[in-house]
Amino acid sequence: MNAGLEDVVAASTVLSDVDGKNGRLIIRGSSLDDLVTNDRYENVLALLFAGFFPQTPSLPAALGAARAEIFDHLTAVDPTLLTLPPVDAMRALLARLDDGDDLSAALRLVAAPAVFIPALLRLKAGKSAIAPQPASSHAADTLRMMTGDIPSPEQTAALDRYLVTVADHGLNASTFAARVVASTRAGLTSSVLAALSALKGPLHGGAPGPVLDMLDAAATPDNAPNWIAAELARGERLMGFGHRVYRVRDPRADALKSAVRLLAGAGAIDPARLALAEAVERTALDQLKAKKPDRPLDTNVEFYTALLLEALGFPRQAFTGVFAMGRVGGWIAHAREQAETGRLIRPRSLYIGPQPQAAA
Ligand code: ACO
């Protein structure tokens, strides 16, 4: 048995390859660096979906139409839902969607986080939800539905880069959850709900909110070394560092750092916040190296995610929902691949409990 299934290969996939030794991510034959520089989220979605759904030349338009369709589902929001964290409220709304397997069902599921998260944030704040503009890009429309303002080109590009960066990443915990459900031939909504539930934990997609808590607690670059040393001495984990597969820097960290720099160049990020983050990152890496010389612990995707999403105006409680906005494309492609090419996932467990007593 391998605890945590470490190094166990549980699926073959054409979708993505995480090279943990060299710090490379390949998505369907393209490197992450190329995709981030040259492609919009909609293109990466088309790449992930190719062969699993009929190709449509108008995927951006179909996704825009799906956003408009999903907006009508906001009638299901009730006051109880608004007391929940956004990711939990979104999960409840997602659970009402039809459990289909076709492209329409897939696009509704891709559209849902982008519509539900901005709407839930506004409704929680006592404002009304803003309807989608189907002709806009997914990233630009999401930002406008949240703030009511047309985002700047840099803000749109930064969110787009984020969505591309997190679109797919091998057999991570949430994608595995999606594939387990898909292996039973349950529909796409069921797979996405399982994946979202796995994503929200702090060891997976729930980390970026706590990254900001860490920056707040460290407070200043000068204070960072003492604060980090105290956390590590108490046995705490530093959020935004370490990874199951990468033994070097997570390539997604640099993809997002470049998006953060784009915002900084446009004056859309507080320079003091950026300086604090860079100081915390440097100090954390030094201290993790000293504490765990045999276990390389480097910056992961969540560290710069936190800075990026904060600068775009997302509150930290919504970060996991924004992560789902990008990763939902990967979950759906993996679920389709599993249903089409895989077998029922049914591993064994090692029984270590007591045996029944023999009758006296
Ligand atoms: N800070 C301090 N120590 C750490 C960290 C960290 N961020 N990460 C790992 N370690 C230590 C562990 O305490 C453990 O020490 P031990 O052997 O003395 O018990 C050792 O390094 C190995 O850690 P594991 O838990 O075996 O590593 P695993 O592969 O299971 O965990 C994980 C990977 C969950 C990402 C871990 O590094 C972590 O908890 N990081 C912080 C949370 C985080 O940033 N999560 C986001 C990951 S990226 C993503 O999912 C999108």
Ligand 1, atom 32, lies closest to the CA of: 243
Residue 169 appears among annotated catalytic residues: no
Residue 67: count of CB within 10 angstroms of its CB: 24
Cα separation of 191 and 185, whole Å? 9
Helices 301-311 and 319-341 sit at what angle, rounded to 10 degrees? 130
Is the shortest distance between the CB of 302 and ligand 1 below 6 Å? yes
pLDDT digits (tens, 9 = 90+) for 223-243: 999 999 999 999 999 999 999
Written as one string, the DSSP assignment of 176-192 is HHHHHHHHTT--HHHHH
Cα separation of 149 and 56, whole Å? 30
How many angstroms is it from 239 CA to the middle of ligand 1? 9
The predicted model scores a pTM of: 0.94
Is the shortest distance between the CB of 198 and ligand 1 below 6 Å? no
* The two three-digit tokens of residue 229, written as one number: 């040393």
Radius of gyration of the chain (CA): 21
148 alpha-carbon distance from chain centroid = 24
How many angstroms is it from 203 CA to the middle of ligand 1? 8
Residue 243 appears among annotated catalytic residues: yes
pLDDT attached to residue 209: 86
Instruction: Name the active-site residue from 69, 243, 281, 337.
Output: 243
pLDDT attached to residue 310: 96
pLDDT attached to residue 56: 80
Closest ligand 1 atom to the C-alpha of 241? 7
Contact 301, 252 (CB under 8 A): yes
Find tokens 């916040």 and name the residue: 273
* Nearest Cα residue to 63 out of 81, 44, 42, 83: 42
Q: Are strands 30-31 and 24-27 parallel, antiparallel or unpaired?
A: antiparallel
Is the shortest distance between the CB of 255 and ligand 1 below 6 Å? no
* The two three-digit tokens of residue 157, written as one number: 């590009």
Stretches in the chain below the pLDDT threshold 70: 360
Burial of 110 (C-beta count, 10 Å sphere; 0-12/13-18/19+): buried
What per-residue string of b and e applies to 127-140 under the rule 16 or more CB within 10 Å gives b?
Answer: eebbebebebbbbb
* The two three-digit tokens of residue 25, written as one number: 């991510």
Find tokens 């999960």 and name the residue: 91
Instruction: Name the active-site residue from 69, 154, 231, 302.
Output: 302
pLDDT attached to residue 166: 97
pLDDT attached to residue 243: 92
pLDDT attached to residue 207: 79
How many angstroms is it from 249 CA to the middle of ligand 1? 14
How many angstroms is it from 190 CA to the middle of ligand 1? 29
Cα separation of 192 and 178, whole Å? 6
Burial of 82 (C-beta count, 10 Å sphere; 0-12/13-18/19+): middle
Is the shortest distance between the CB of 243 and ligand 1 below 6 Å? yes
How many angstroms is it from 329 CA to the middle of ligand 1? 26
Is the shortest distance between the CB of 301 and ligand 1 below 6 Å? yes
